[in-house]
Amino acid sequence: MTPESRPSALGGLTLGGTTFRSRLILGTGKYPSERIMQEALKASGTEIVTVAVRRVELSARGRGSLLDFIDPARYSLLPNTAGCTTADEAVRTARLAREAGLSSLIKLEVIGDSKTLFPDLEGLLLATRILVREGFTVLPYTSDDLVTAKKLRDAGAVAIMPLGAPIGSGLGIQNRTHLRILLQEISDIPIIVDAGVGTASDAAIAMEMGCDGVLMNTGVAGARDPVRMARAMGLAVEAGRLAYEAGRIPKKLYASASSPEDQRIE
Amino acid sequence: MRILVNGTDREVPERITVSALLRMLDLPEGRIAVERNRKVIPRSLHSEVQLSEGDRLELVRFVGGG
Q: Which of A58-67, A191-200, B18-27 comes out lowest in average pLDDT?
A: A58-67
Q: Label the pairing between strands A192-194 and A213-216.
A: parallel
Predicted local confidence at residue B5, as pLDDT = 97
Domain-located, residue A255: no
Domain-located, residue A41: yes
Spatial separation of the C-alpha atoms in residues A136 and A142, rounded to whole Å: 17
Domain-located, residue A81: yes
CB pairs under 8 A between A and B: 101
Spatial separation of the C-alpha atoms in residues A221 and A36, rounded to whole Å: 9
**In degrees to the nearest 10, what's the CA dihedral of A69, A13, A81, A128?**
160
| Chain A, nearest residue to B24 by Cα | A58
Spatial separation of the C-alpha atoms in residues B61 and A52, rounded to whole Å: 8
* Cβ separation B64–A27 shorter than 8 A: yes
Number of domains, chain A: 1
Q: What is the CATH number of the domain that holds A222?
A: 3.20.20.70
Percent of chain A with pLDDT over 90: 89
Percent of chain A with pLDDT over 70: 95
Domain-located, residue A116: yes
Predicted local confidence at residue A4, as pLDDT = 58
Q: With contacts defined as CB-CB under 8 Å, which chain B residues touch A81?
A: none
Predicted local confidence at residue A62, as pLDDT = 56
Domain-located, residue A11: no
Predicted local confidence at residue A11, as pLDDT = 74
Judged by DSSP in three states, A89 sits in: helix
Spatial separation of the C-alpha atoms in residues A96 and B58, rounded to whole Å: 9
**Alpha-carbon gap: A59 to the closest alpha carbon of chain B (Å):** 9
pLDDT confidence band for A40 (50 / 70 / 90): very high
Active site residues of A: 107
Predicted local confidence at residue A59, as pLDDT = 80
Mean pLDDT of all residues in B6-17: 96
Domain-located, residue A259: no
**Alpha-carbon gap: B21 to the closest alpha carbon of chain A (Å):** 12
Q: Is the pLDDT of residue A8 over 60?
A: no
Domain-located, residue A134: yes
The interface pTM score, or ipTM, of the predicted complex is 0.95
* pLDDT one-digit tens code per residue, A127-173: 999 999 999 999 999 999 999 999 999 999 999 999 999 999 999 99
Host domain of residue A168:
20-246
Q: Provide the residue type at B63 as one letter.
A: V
**pLDDT mean across residues, chain A:** 94
Domain-located, residue A264: no
